[in-house]
Amino acid sequence: MEAVYAVHTLMEAVLGVIKLRGRYAHESPTERGERSRMYVRHHASSLIALTVLGGYVWWRDLVWSETGWLASLVLGIFHGGAVCAFLWAWACGAIPMAKVIAPHAPFALAFLWHVARYDFE
């Protein structure tokens, strides 16, 4: 799980910083209006918050503590929710199945596995 936390922290940090520019990777710099860029930056701040949460748990070696359990619960719910939203978009024909699977599904499974496996004793 320590490796999952480390990879997750790195990925969310990189993606969050990239999105701070106000557009997604597939868009041109002039494709969005200012209000729309605000929403992308809002998404970026969410990713950076996940970076801080996962990074703190990993850095402080709290993965197998109750704090790590709670962080895994939060991260598992977030990534599981993203999978559900992407499944809906896929069912509507808006995105390919690969977007459903990567990167959210592996993280959702790993974090929720950690939640289920944690022993509070």
What pLDDT, in 10s, does the model give residues 54-69?
999 999 999 999 999 9
- Asked if the model's pLDDT at residue 27 lies above 80, the reply is no
Q: What is the pLDDT of residue 14?
A: 94
Tell me how far apart the alpha carbons of residues 41 and 24 are, in angstroms, rounded to a whole number.
Answer: 10
What is the per-residue DSSP string for 12-63?
HHHHHHHHTTSS-TTS-TTSS-HHHHHHHHHHHHHHHHHHHHHHHHHHTT-T
Written as six digits, the tokens of 36 are 């729309």
Q: Which domain holds residue 6?
A: 2-117
Banded model confidence at residue 15, pLDDT cuts 50, 70, 90: very high
Q: Residue-wise over 37-71: b if at least 16 C-beta within 10 A, else e?
A: beebbeebeebbebbebbbebbeeebbeeeebbeb
Q: pTM for the complete prediction?
A: 0.87
Domain count, the chain: 1
Tell me how far apart the alpha carbons of residues 89 and 34 are, in angstroms, rounded to a whole number.
Answer: 25
Contacts of 93 (CB under 8 A, 6+ apart): none
